[in-house]
Amino acid sequence: MTKVTIDGLQHVNNVDIAYSMTGTGPPLLLLHGFPQTRAMWNAIRPILATSFTVVTADLRGYGDSTKPKSMADMSFRHMAADQLALMHSLGFDSFHLAGHDRGARTAHRLALDAPDALLSLTMMDTIPTHLLLNELSQDVARTYYHWFFLSQPAPFPEHMILADPDHYFESCLLGWGGSQLSDFDPDMLAAYRHSWRNPDCVHSMCNDYRAAIDIDFHHDASDLAKQVSCPSQMLYGATGPMAQRYDMDQAWAPHLSNMTTQAISGGHFFVDQFPEETAAALQGFLQRDSPSA
């Protein structure tokens, strides 16, 4: 049976959050990362929609969602509050949650701030923000230089990026795990380009990284003793920079008390490269280990 997809814009937490919803079954929220939009889930959403009500949403500052001007408004705490309010507005008091990259960091913050809302947590190719910044090594700093470039005071990085946004952001897509542009679906890539060519989006993305250092690091430092207790899964690219530089089990064990990890073919953008393998890993975890809504 064909699943009808609803595309909407919901006003929550003083911002408008763009979302798409399709399928039937327990609710599952999927959050994208940098420098992408909710379009990254387009190949996965139909697979999961056979068993779940799948909601994909643009983080504040990205895609078609509101792009705040203030750096303080781009913290993961604000992003998490947006997504929690979105799901509540759609009628879901509790839900499964999966996020990639910045979406994974948002998901972790939501799990810390509203643990009763989550049936399960899946994070994709990320390590704790506090760990990355507090124990920074030379090789990580070189690979993830963008954390420190984007976090420079405005308008320096914005000005440089907007001289040729496609060149800059495509270098990000290609630089973290050996991707090629042909790995990215043309329609999805067009959605990414439409977003990152917007000067307001570029400013918000820079503020996302500024907030990670100036705000999120301190939030995470205050919560180092907290553990997420719901069933949790860490998926990571087998050839990506995270897997090359960190032991993913060791990195997340202090923060997730009920955790499994699994490597997926490809690099950091394995969701785009290998959507069917990613969907199978996510669906297997949700149906095997997580309670239904």
**What residue spans define the domains of the chain?**
6-289
Q: What is the mean pLDDT of residues 225-238?
A: 97
User: What pLDDT digit, counting tens, does each position of 152-181 carry?
Assistant: 999 999 999 999 999 999 999 998 876 789
pLDDT of residue 249: 95
Mean pLDDT, the chain, as a whole number?
Answer: 95
pLDDT of residue 61: 98
Distance of alpha carbon 5 from alpha carbon 7, whole angstroms: 6
Closest C-alpha among 272, 232, 281 to residue 252? 232
User: What pLDDT digit, counting tens, does each position of 174-218 carry?
Assistant: 988 767 899 899 999 999 999 999 999 999 999 999 999 999 999
Peptide bond into 155 cis (omega under 30): yes
Show which residues are catalytic. Answer: 101, 268
* Per-state percent for the chain, helix, strand, coil, to nearest 5: 50, 20, 35
pLDDT of residue 83: 98
1 has pLDDT over 50: no
**pLDDT confidence tier of residue 45, bands split at 50, 70 and 90:** very high
User: What pLDDT digit, counting tens, does each position of 81-113 carry?
Assistant: 999 999 999 999 999 999 999 999 999 999 999
Distance of alpha carbon 104 from alpha carbon 161, whole angstroms: 24
Helix (H, G, I), strand (E, B) or coil at 29: strand
User: What's the topology of domain 6-289?
Assistant: Rossmann fold (3.40.50)
293 has pLDDT over 60: no
Q: Where are the alpha helices (DSSP H) in the chain?
A: 45-48, 76-89, 102-113, 129-134, 138-143, 146-150, 156-162, 165-175, 186-196, 199-211, 217-222, 241-245, 248-252, 270-273, 275-289
Angle CA 255–105–185, to nearest 5: 130
Distance of alpha carbon 169 from alpha carbon 176, whole angstroms: 12
Distance of CA 274 to the CA centre of its chain: 17
Two structure tokens written together for 105: 């960091």
2 has pLDDT over 50: no
Measure Cα distances from 274 to 124, 155, 217, 266, 279 in Å. 13, 36, 31, 7, 9
Work out the percent of the chain whose per-residue pLDDT is above 70.
Answer: 97
CA dihedral of residues 234, 74, 21, 48 (deg, nearest 10): -10
pLDDT of residue 289: 52
Distance of alpha carbon 30 from alpha carbon 225, whole angstroms: 26
275 has pLDDT over 80: yes
Distance of alpha carbon 275 from alpha carbon 286, whole angstroms: 16
